[in-house]
Amino acid sequence: MKLSKEQIKHYQETGLLFIPGLFSTEEIAKIQDAVVTLSTRDTPGRILEKDNKTVRALHGCHQNAEIFNSLIRHPSLLTPASEMLNSDVYIYQFKVNLKGAFNGDVWPWHQDYVFWDQEDGMPFPKAINVAIFLDEFNEFNGPIYFIPGSHQESLIHLGQKQSSETPNNWESNVSAALKYSLDQETITKLADQNGIIAPKGAAGSVLFFHCNLVHGSAPNISPYPRRLLIITYNSINNIPNCQGNPRPEFLVSRDHTPLKPLRDKVIA
């Protein structure tokens, strides 16, 4: 998929680009099936909510199922990501945030790059998230909130630097008690300046968003699940140094092979 000049400009100015209906109902059904199957497996990258039952997230899925390994090479995801980063890319992270009906918990306001900078030693914010809606996102089921343009603020909150002596407590990077969340004063100021948006739409819609864009989401008290698949591509010129105490591979991929788009049917 080739982006138009207007789409690229929109992404550069706001930090995000929303493309409704990129995947068909049949394609999403196959991805959903794979998510359900993977959710039942006790893999190291499977994270539970505080109730110790509801699956909060699945990490490193591209290493656990063929369909996800193909998806990272989908031309409609990979080509725009490469174009927006102006570079060949490799897979940095692959996760599904499930935000289950009634029990899916909060994602406090944050920027992603602070985690990759502080925890992994990623040199520059030259990574991009590609988020695929696996369910309809509506006003009830905890859609993601974004502050458009906030990626231009660069890194707002640096948090505590982890010592290489302490065990790498990566759980606080993926739980509702997020390590590098933003304070209320910062969010109030940014929201006053730029407002808040919550893209909504049918399953199969896709959101590209900048790794410094401020975002978060409320708990899901609705009866509707809200599953979001997020692929993070990183520039091959921006490989983290992962010094000291690296996070597990399901959070930071060690395979830096540049990805090539697949030509044939990707979601079989």
Q: Residue with CB nearest ligand SIN?
A: 217
**Hunting for tokens 């905890």 — which residue is that?**
142
CA neighbor of 134 nearest in space, from 46, 63, 40, 39: 39
Query: Which residues 208-237 are close enough to bind ligand SIN by CB under 6 A?
Result: 215, 217, 228, 230
- Residue 96 in contact with residue 230, Cβ under 8 Å? yes
Closest contact distance (angstroms) between CB of 208 and Mn ion is 14
58: helix, strand or coil: strand
Token pair belonging to 38: 């993977």
Closest contact distance (angstroms) between CB of 207 and ligand SIN is 10
Nearer to ligand SIN, 144 or 231 (CB): 144
Query: Which residues 88-117 are close enough to bind ligand SIN by CB under 6 A?
Result: 97, 107
Token pair belonging to 208: 């590209």
Token pair belonging to 61: 């899925």
Nearer to ligand SIN, 92 or 107 (CB): 107
Residue 231 contact partner, candidates Mn ion, ligand SIN, none, CB within 5 to 8 A by sort of partner: none
Cα angle 205-17-70, degrees, rounded to a multiple of 5: 55
Nearer to ligand SIN, 23 or 137 (CB): 137
Residue 217 contact partner, candidates ligand SIN, Mn ion, none, CB within 5 to 8 A by sort of partner: ligand SIN
Q: What is the 3-state secondary structure (H, E, C) of 91-147?
A: EEEEEEECCCCCCECCEEEECCHHHHHHHHCCCCCCEEEEEEECCCECCCCCCEEEC
Closest contact distance (angstroms) between CB of 107 and Mn ion is 6
- Residue 252 in contact with residue 240, Cβ under 8 Å? yes
Q: Which amino acid is at 252?
A: V
Residue 122 contact partner, candidates Mn ion, ligand SIN, none, CB within 5 to 8 A by sort of partner: none
Instruction: State the Cα–Cα distance between residues 127 and 90, nearest whole angstrom.
Output: 10
Nearer to ligand SIN, 134 or 266 (CB): 134
Residue 228 contact partner, candidates Mn ion, ligand SIN, none, CB within 5 to 8 A by sort of partner: ligand SIN
Interface pattern 111-150 for Mn ion (x via CB under 5 A): -x--------------------------------------
Residue 59 contact partner, candidates Mn ion, ligand SIN, none, CB within 5 to 8 A by sort of partner: none
- Residue 30 in contact with residue 67, Cβ under 8 Å? yes
What residues line the site for ligand SIN (CB under 6 A)? 97, 107, 144, 215, 217, 228, 230
What residues line the site for Mn ion (CB under 5 A)? 112
